[in-house]
A = this chain, B = another copy of it.
């Protein structure tokens, strides 16, 4: 299988290439970029030593032609038109937001512009999603926050344990913001600092959360979501909670989660008493989870750790690609973190 990556100079593109270099069924074809076209890849991705001789091409339908799989790691709004030009037989994996939302009004409100339509959603752990990925030629890779948060909350909502109103605070590393040259992303600013942003329902991942959780729950789920930027390059630690509808205790909650994820290759419910750390999943496609019940407030509390670039972006993309291509789902995907 020959693949191309559009947007190979960014963090998502770099992570894709890191994973695909270790994928036994993949040959790496064209690597393209926008303003960085013509520059050597090593300038942008010095860690990808085996690709040190590559030069970035321009992102066009022509440079992307002739590949079995094309990954689009582009700013939102750019994927729809490009995908249309790649033909229906190419597997197009969109790491951007364009094809995640089903509701055109949601798209309009949160992103603006024309809605490109919805593609099969690349979160196989979500009920029904895996089946829709088999054989598909189009994949919408989830946002990094909805990946961690949906996996954290879906079992409880599916089992009817909690009220359809959830609270999510997710601490994220800085690579989630990409390589944008903004003052608040400078090292001097982020080191030593925690900052909330997109507060009050303003973050664009909010409707994606709601869409996923409502689908699982069967009723409309309201999501209060606050992301917090922390001084680490990678990782998301999600703290999610919801009011319990039953008299379930921590052990009961644990059983529900154990059952829900018993056969998932990348989801690990930690032993009782151990809480997830974002460092433990760095570089891996793992999701580490722990669940408990706050007896005083009668809330279910779930904490989940993912690597925003791996499971949250590029690893999730490769996992879904594997399913679409009929390969074993875990092919080429690390289940061991790089720690400390």
Contact = CB atoms under 8 A, between A and B. Distances in A.
A339 interface: yes
A226 interface: yes
B337 A49 contact: yes
A327 interface: no
Nearest to A278: B194
A47 B280 contact: yes
A246 interface: no
B271 A232 contact: no
A231 interface: yes
Given A187-B231, A226-B239, A293-B200, A268 B49 contact: yes
Contacts of A173: 188, 192
A274 interface: yes
Contacts of A188: 11, 173-175, 177, 179, 185, 233, 340
Contact of A185 (B18, B186, B196): B186
Interface in A15-67: 18, 21-22, 40, 42-50, 52
Interface stretch (A87-95, A113-121, A295-303): A295-303
A288 interface: yes
Interface residues of A, number: 95
Contacts of A295: 200-201
B21 A339 contact: no
> How often does this chain occur in the complex, in copies?
4
Contact of A181 (B186, B236, B299): B186
Nearest to A290: B199
Contact of A183 (B21, B179, B236): B179
Nearest to A184: B277
A131 interface: no
Interface string A219-233: 000111010101111
A99 interface: no
30 contacts: A11-B188, A18-B336, A45-B339, A50-B335, A167-B299, A171-B228, A171-B230, A173-B192, A174-B186, A174-B188, A185-B188, A186-B186, A186-B187, A187-B233, A191-B191, A191-B340, A192-B192, A194-B235, A194-B237, A194-B277, A194-B278, A196-B303, A199-B292, A199-B301, A201-B294, A201-B296, A201-B297, A222-B296, A223-B296, A283-B283
